[in-house]
Chains A and B, each alone.
Chain A
Amino acid sequence: MSRPPLEIAAYEANDGYQSVHKIAAGLSSNDVLETIKGSGLKGRGGAGFPTGLKWSFVPQGENSPQQKYLVVNADEMEPGTFKDRLLMEGDPHLLLEGMIIAAYTIGASKAYIFLRGEYTTSVRTLKNAIAEAYDKGYLGKNILNTGFDLDIILHTSAGRYICGEETALLNALEGKRANPRAKPPFPQVSGLWGKPTIVNNVETICNLPGILTYGIDWYKGLGQGADAGTKLFGVSGRVKNPGCWEMPLGVSIRELLEEKAGGMQDGLGLKAFLPGGGSTDFMLPEHLDIALDYDEIAKVGSRLATGTMIILDDQTCPVGMVGNLMKFFAHESCGFCTPCRDGLPWVDAIFREFEEGRGSEKDLQILREHVDYMGPGRTFCALAPGATAPLGSGLKYFEDDFKAHIKQKRCPYKH
């Protein structure tokens, strides 16, 4: 961020915390739930699950557990993803306001922000903002005389990609090894310390204040396609102007890449791109006119996921790029289940063979088999299936490049 975040008074002067005042004026938790459901907001962490629906699974009423938790997933570690950092460094009160809304709706009196330890600037901006919010009475006991209490605790993680998986995150918060848990029970019913828990991504939470302050119609009107609202979209790689922008859902990929990111750097062509972080399938230049929309991108076999695109130029080795991702996934496997623990390092080792000019047709076959062995339904969580997205699509789209490595016994992109 090029500017410091807004202090609470400036944030309030720009309609900040209006939603909390609406709650104080009598908006019930059920009203909020219905509003969020009606807004069509989908989770912005990667899976795109409808937020209101997720919240509605939390047991309510007298017989439900009194302690419920809200946990914000701020463990941004998906390769090529840099959107939550922007929100936390640039607009921390937006996150806090959203958290108050979410916690009020599900009846949670305690909320944890599970933040990446490496995000040291976010630690500072969030700590300041939390202190300001307590001072103003937006946090703590009996918030604005509503009778609703909320404490927000900032937790910094000790670094592991698997913590982005929500049940692994809960184990990490409980001080355990961050292995994912079996589902069911889902966290909404039995999560943190066995209590009903909602885990939402930072960007998802940051959508809530606008919806509540300006209403469903306003929010839906922001989208240009089937999906409601705006989203943060990022572009990284060798483009002229890499960055992260808030844009309506439904604009074309071309607009993002060419108008916002300024197109490819001089002398480089577009070879392919991952549309939403390291766990998504490659897309090709022929897909540029597709809309940035969950369903439209799914139609060509990929996922919008985090919305942060990684651009592969025509002078960077595609085999090397997939190999880099495989190394990452192999390193970050939690080691709990076999296909992931053993499969990923094997795949990684084969990519190093290719890198050094020792790749063979047989290796290519083994890689293809691993797309299946580590795919959806074969593993305990989504980490290895996520890895098979760039692997499988890479094998499909870059077959010529793999074969050139075999034939030339070297990486043809290295001069």
Chain B
Amino acid sequence: MSTQVIATTKNRARQLTEEEIAEIEHEKTLYPDNQAVGLEALKIVQKYQGWVSDESLMAIADYLDLSAADLEGVATFFNLVYRQPVGKNVILFCNSVSCWICRCDDIKDHISKKLDIDFGQTTEDNEFTFIPVPCLGDCDNAPVMMVGDDLHRNLTPEKVDEIITQYRNKSA
């Protein structure tokens, strides 16, 4: 039975790219076992592919000789491992307490309206995915959000408009 499962895993796995493999190999030097590398590999694959597809997850499990089920358990546990496709830019919107006190709900509504998406959704043009995130630790500049790797502070509706235009222009 178990060999059959492994065979299925192999069949559905995609080929990892050379860059992905090189980075995974580097991580192997930093941790004593492959299980620890598994979570790193998920992040590496996501960096290149944008998200972690079933085929990517199987490929990592295969490459590191880990149980695909265990790796899936880890992948779905963490907020920042995306098991569904996301847009080009992920908006991590802080809606924790300090931002809430500073009226982030108004900013959230503004973004939702402007992009015509709610939390968990991606715009039709695939530019933005909108996700709430626990406290971003920048509470003295509330309300805040991240777009990709960049932090944007002291948000106002006008500022949000500028930021969105900026990212749209970048990919145009």
Q: Which A residues contact B (CB, under 8 angstroms)? A: 76-82, 84-85, 116-121, 153, 156-161, 172-178, 193, 234-238, 242-244, 274, 278, 308, 310-313, 316, 320-321, 324-325, 328, 331-332, 334
Contact = CB atoms under 8 A, between A and B. Distances in A.
Given A153-B30, A176-B35, A236 B140 contact: yes
A158 B100 CA distance: 23
Interface in B59-107: 73-74, 77-81, 92, 95-98, 100-102
Contacts of A77: 134-135, 137
B80 A79 contact: no
B101 A237 contact: yes
A153 B37 CA distance: 13
A158 B80 contact: yes
B74 A118 contact: no
9 contacts: A79-B135, A159-B78, A236-B98, A242-B139, A244-B140, A320-B100, A321-B97, A321-B100, A321-B101
A310 B98 CA distance: 7
B33 to A, nearest CB: 7
B43 interface: yes
Contacts of A174: 33, 35-36
Interface of B: 30-33, 35-40, 42-43, 73-74, 77-81, 92, 95-98, 100-102, 133-142, 146, 149-151
Contacts of A321: 97, 100-101
Contact of A328 (B32, B74, B134, B139): B134
Nearest to B36: A175
Contacts of B39: 158, 172, 175
B20 to A, nearest CB: 17
A236 B99 CA distance: 9
A30 to B, nearest CB: 28
Contacts of B96: 79-80, 278, 324, 328
A311 B39 CA distance: 37
A308 B139 contact: yes
Given A81-B139, A172-B39, 15 more contacts: A80-B98, A81-B135, A118-B80, A120-B150, A159-B133, A160-B77, A175-B35, A175-B37, A234-B139, A278-B135, A310-B101, A320-B100, A324-B95, A325-B97, A328-B135
A326 B138 CA distance: 20
Given A160-B77, A310-B101, A321-B100, A84 B139 contact: no
A236 B133 contact: no
Contact of B139 (A236, A312, A334): A236
A82 B138 contact: yes
Contact of B137 (A81, A178, A312, A334): A81
Contacts of B97: 79-80, 274, 278, 310, 321, 324-325, 328
B55 to A, nearest CB: 20
A369 to B, nearest CB: 24
A153 B29 CA distance: 11
Nearest to B146: A118
A161 B134 contact: yes
Contacts of B81: 158
B23 to A, nearest CB: 13
Given A118-B92, A278-B96, A238 B101 contact: yes
B139 A316 contact: no
Nearest to B135: A79
Contacts of A175: 31, 33, 35-40, 74
Most chain B CB inside 10 Å of its own CB: which residue of A118, A156, A308: A118
Contact of A313 (B35, B101, B136): B101
B135 to A, nearest CB: 4
Contacts of A242: 139-142
Contacts of A274: 97
